[in-house]
Amino acid sequence: MSRGKYHILTFGCQMNKSDSERLAAILNRIGLTETGDEQQADVILLNSCSVRQTAEDRIYGQVGKFAELRAKKPNLIVGVTGCMAGRDKNGKMRAKLPGADLFFPTRDMVLLPRWIAGLNPDLVDPVELGDDYLKLTPQYANTVQAYVSVQTGCNKFCTYCVVPHARGLERNRPAADILTEVQGLADRGALEITLLGQAVNAYKAPDRSSFSAANPYKDDYAALLWEINRISGIRRLHWTAPYPTHMTEEVIDALTLPKQVNYLHLPVQAGNDEVLKRMNRRYTSAQYLEIVGRIRTARPNIALGTDIIVGFCGETPEQFEDTVALHKEADFDISYHAMYSTRSGTLAHQYLKDDVAPAEKKRRWNVLQELMEETVLRKNQAYVGREVEVLVDEWSKGYAVGNSREMKRVQFAAPSDCRGQLVNVKVETALEWLLKGQATENAPISMAEALAGRNLVR
């Protein structure tokens, strides 16, 4: 019998979503059950994002709101974890959250049973969790499409980024643990796996002996991709976010493995070399474009996405125009734009001046957004008349929506709920953010057929 209920609010990236699935697993193991209604919860955890000030402000606001709920439920436990807690080295953030009973970095989630027992022993069943949260099996929110973390932390120290300060230095999971987790998901019916890491393709296996003797790759990340391609049942493999200079020849070759989705998200952040240098990005714009060229040589029709920061410290209008030029040359299928905001504790905050006016940042954001939307619409037109494979994740009122292998949203008429299924759809209309079409009678290609087109034992 459940002793109480918990509610988790997750902010930020896919890594945070994956971490929240481990938080849920812990709370389930100590005897709590999940509720979607915060009013019914005995424990509320906020998994915070710290990428921008607005993200942190949401946490302050939420904790303040839960203080009102505590007036009705004096024994309510409120906790904050994630990147805010991870990077709060001087205690200033904690001091602004008097309504939080718990404030802890992600890696310390294994101590939750002890902390909750100290606050309300009637809620908790005693359990031993070990000292490595990545060893915990997540409580997957979706077993058809699942996140699998391969590393945490980062060694790059981009000057604008809080991740190394919030999550620490790069730590790679054993390949054996990753492959066991993916196999378990396949056994439960998973069709799509998304591998997560801050610089995911920098992965180095602590246990390279776990790879098959037949594995053809020397690059550890490429070797991991090859191993996952051999796991029966998995139909799609996606990963985010790679770092450009770790796109080795073998990792690029692994993009042609049969389960790899036809999409790669490759952050560039800026198109001017001086700005890239101030960001401590370890490549030039020419090197980035050369990598894009090699990727498209290996997989000509791959869809490419990117991230770009506008208005970084010292970025002149002319330097911004270099970013516009790179965007046009790379011809991205999608790009995500952020106006730079300084983050305390980062190198940019300590040594650089945030000197681009907010109105100018907004202007530059609008320029890129308009360019991106024009490019997206143009590129989407090429799908009209083509058949795409869609993994359905939404269904309502006779319509289904899901992602193609290019990570484009596709809608089609569906008389019954087909969530979690792969459906072939012939595209009839292409909009900026949506392809529309009709389901065809052709069954999606079987994995056996796909594997026959690429011999994995070389």
Confidence band for 349, pLDDT divided at 50, 70 and 90? very high
pLDDT of residue 171: 96
Q: Under CATH, which number does the domain 266-381 receive?
A: 3.30.750.200
Averaged pLDDT for residues 82-88: 93
Of 81, 54, 82, 80, the residue nearest 66 (C-alpha): 80
pLDDT of residue 311: 98
* AA letter at 162: V
pLDDT of residue 53: 84
pLDDT tens-digit series, residues 410-425: 999 999 999 999 999 9
Confidence band for 308, pLDDT divided at 50, 70 and 90? very high
pLDDT of residue 455: 42
pLDDT higher than threshold 50 for residue 453: no
pTM comes to 0.92
Yes or no: say if 307 and 326 are a contact pair by the CB < 8 Å rule: no
Averaged pLDDT for residues 227-248: 98
3 state SS for the chain? CCCEEEEEEECCCHHHHHHHHHHHHHHHHCCEEECCCHHHCCEEEEEECCCCHHHHHHHHHHHHHHHHHHHHCCCCEEEEEEHHHHHCCCCHHHHCCCCCCEECCHHHHHHHHHHHHHHCHHHCCCCCCCCCHHHCCCCCCCCCEEEEECEECCCCCCCCCCHHHHHCCCEECCHHHHHHHHHHHHHCCCCEEEEECCCHHHCCCCCHHHCCCCCCCCCHHHHHHHHHHCCCCCCEEEEECCCHHHCCHHHHHHCCCCCECCEEECCCECCCHHHHHHHCCCCCHHHHHHHHHHHHHHCCCCEEEEEEEECCCCCCHHHHHHHHHHHHHHCCCEEEEEECCCCCCCHHHHHCCCCCCHHHHHHHHHHHHHHHHHHHHHHHHCCCCCEEEEEEEEEECCEEEEECCCCCEEEEECCCCCCCCEEEEEEEEECCCCEEEEECCCCCCCHHHHHHCCCCCC
Averaged pLDDT for residues 351-376: 98
Confidence band for 456, pLDDT divided at 50, 70 and 90? very low
pLDDT of residue 320: 98
- What proportion of the chain, given as a percentage, has pLDDT over 90? 90
Of 306, 363, 309, the residue nearest 329 (C-alpha): 306
pLDDT of residue 2: 59
**Per CATH, domain 387-447 is 2.40.10.10:** no
pLDDT tens-digit series, residues 259-291: 999 999 999 999 999 999 999 999 999 999 999
Lowest model confidence (mean pLDDT) among 122-131, 304-313, 355-364: 122-131
Averaged pLDDT for residues 66-80: 92
CATH class entry, domain 142-261 = alpha beta
Fold match between 4-134 and 266-381? Answer: no
pLDDT of residue 215: 98
Averaged pLDDT for residues 68-74: 90
pLDDT higher than threshold 80 for residue 66: yes
pLDDT higher than threshold 70 for residue 452: no
Confidence band for 442, pLDDT divided at 50, 70 and 90? low
* Residue 17 to residue 10: CA distance in whole angstroms: 6
Confidence band for 444, pLDDT divided at 50, 70 and 90? very low
Mean pLDDT in the chain?
94
pLDDT tens-digit series, residues 32-53: 999 999 999 999 999 999 888 8
Tokens of 215: 């594995």
* Residue 249 to residue 256: CA distance in whole angstroms: 12
Q: Where are the domains of the chain?
A: 4-134, 142-261, 266-381, 387-447
Per CATH, the homologous superfamily of domain 4-134 is Response regulator (3.40.50.2300)
pLDDT of residue 127: 85
How far is the CA of 37 from the CAs of 44, 68, 87, 238, in angstroms? 10, 15, 29, 32
* Residue 124 to residue 122: CA distance in whole angstroms: 6
pLDDT higher than threshold 80 for residue 446: no
